[in-house]
Amino acid sequence: MKKQILLLLALALSFTIYAQETKSNDVSDVIKKHGIENSKVMDIASWMTDVYGQRLTGSTGLAKAKEWAKNELTKMGLQNARLEEWDDFGRGWDMTHFEMHAEAPTYWPIIAYPKAWSSASKGSGQVIYLDVKSMSDLEKYKGKLKGKFVLIDSIRPVEEAFEPTAKRHDSESLLELANATLPIPSERRGGGGNSAAADLRKATWELLEAEKPLGVLDRSYKGDLGTVFVSGARTAEGSARDKDKYVVPQMTLAIEHYNRIFRMLDKGVPVTLNVDSQSQYTNPGGNEHNVIAEIPGTDLKDEVVMFGAHYDSWHAGTGATDNGSGSSVMMEAARILMETIKETGIKPRRTLRIALWTGEEQGLYGSRKYVGEHYANVEGFSVTTLKEAQKNVSAYYNMDNGTGKIRGVYLQGNEAVSPIFREWLQPFHEMDAATLSLSNTGGTDHLAFDMAGIPGFQFIQEPISYSTKTHHSNMDNYDHLVADDLKQAATIIAYFIWQTSQRDEKLPRKEIDKKYD
């Protein structure tokens, strides 16, 4: 009798293990079905970019986009969708009208964009090149810049491209990532102090602010064929976002138009330009919001799996690859998970929380403020002490490297998660996702979680034409999104979120030399 009971127990245990494995396989198939066959990611992306781009932090465009995202997440079935406030960003800025053309020696329209937070400017004026190499050079321009257009960059030669600007990873580049060793920890360094170059830059901008030209014109260090890379305006001191701060009108020109003006001046030919740049400052309170929503957990509901992307963008394009792609993928991952729960009847054990961050472009403000509010005491880019809630976050997953599909994961030096992630990538080898790299990758919101000792990960993506054409440019539009790549990314990320939610244990953590307060 005893042997029979043991046999029955063994059979029951085997059936339970088989059922769990089958259930896990079923879930992955359901996730693939909703992520690939029934994808909505491009529809989400079109609304986010065509209708609600641009999304400069603090702008009315972003305000409308946040409301749309909150409402869409609610329609998907997520709970507690909200705009969570964070402070001290400063004023916002809206571009309401812009046009620029040359009047002499001949008429031609100019491809240009105002820099964010530039003051409005309207009128005609001659162009002058500010050729400054030392403090003494500034004297000859005093009293001569008001009502003028000031070139501050030298000419940049343009070479025709004989290689494609878009590319994908190959076996060699993936092997290099896979063979990366543990990253060496480094301290975040401050500025360069009172160097001679810094002093000259400050004095130059003080002169420009005092003279009040019609516009300060520059050209990006890269870009051609009408692609213009544009970001924020400069000031001598402080930030262009500071309340009541005067900001010199500043415009970035297409390199071909900038060079043409420069060459004519070099020949001694006077050039007259005309600008009509209209804008307004917004968000007088200076505070901003992240978009947050949740799928409640069950037996481990007090623990959290977070996933997100930055929602803000620059203003010359519609923020499609930077970072409408990541934000659309994360919203799509949330939708896939909701559809999977409905179809399978299986609920997540841990609470799943999506976050669409703002202020990333100006220094990871939204994610750092969130981590500082909930998980750690933060000073700048450093953590002083940890909060108890930090222990309850299993992982944070981020996407912010353009439209390219996922080829694997940057482990951010967390060796212990390698065998776990390798297993989770198994169902996606046919989708070309198999590479794990110990490397750090920087410049985006997973760093806010990593600095607080929370496992934070960015995915390895195909580069496509992110750095060469779309990142911060006027060409960052829906047309440069790759549908199949975004479907693949949303599917894999949804699976990673699900697997993290269902584990008995939270993901392993790197050691962090910080105390809990």
Write out pLDDT tens, residues 298-346: 999 999 999 999 999 999 999 999 999 999 999 999 999 999 999 999 9
Looking at residue 118, its pLDDT comes to 98
- pLDDT above 90 covers a percentage of the chain that reads 90
Region 137-166: mean pLDDT is 95
Looking at residue 189, its pLDDT comes to 47
> Is residue 198 scored above 70 in pLDDT?
yes
Region 292-296: mean pLDDT is 98
Region 477-500: mean pLDDT is 98
Strands 250-253 and 288-295: unpaired
Poorest-pLDDT segment among 143-147, 378-382, 487-491, 502-506: 378-382
Looking at residue 145, its pLDDT comes to 98
Looking at residue 25, its pLDDT comes to 65
Strands 376-379 and 393-398: unpaired
pTM score of the predicted model? 0.93
Looking at residue 13, its pLDDT comes to 41
- Give the number of other Cβ atoms within 10 Å of residue 128's Cβ: 17
Looking at residue 46, its pLDDT comes to 98
> Is residue 394 scored above 70 in pLDDT?
yes
CATH 3.50.30.30 fits 92-169+187-282, yes or no: yes
Q: Please report which confidence band the pLDDT of residue 184 belongs to, taking 50, 70 and 90 as the band edges.
A: confident
Strand ranges for 311-442 from DSSP E: 350-357, 376-379, 382-386, 393-398, 406-410, 435-437
- Tell me the three state secondary structure of residue 2: helix
* Distance from C-alpha of 248 to C-alpha of 253, rounded to nearest angstrom: 16
CATH architecture under which domain 28-89+287-516 falls = 3-Layer(aba) Sandwich (3.40)
Q: Please report which confidence band the pLDDT of residue 5 belongs to, taking 50, 70 and 90 as the band edges.
A: very low
Tens of pLDDT, residue by residue over 434-478, are 999 999 888 999 999 999 999 999 999 999 999 999 999 999 999
* Distance from C-alpha of 382 to C-alpha of 388, rounded to nearest angstrom: 18
> Is residue 194 scored above 70 in pLDDT?
no
Cβ partners under 8 Å of residue 170, min gap 6: none
> Is residue 374 scored above 50 in pLDDT?
yes
SS (H, E, C) 135-177: HHHHHHHCCCCCCCEEECCCCCCCCCCCCCCCECCCHHHHHHH
Looking at residue 507, its pLDDT comes to 98
Poorest-pLDDT segment among 2-6, 116-120, 174-178, 277-281: 2-6
What are the residue boundaries of the structural domains of the chain, listed by start? 28-89+287-516, 92-169+187-282
Between 186 and 431, name the one with better pLDDT: 431
Looking at residue 254, its pLDDT comes to 98
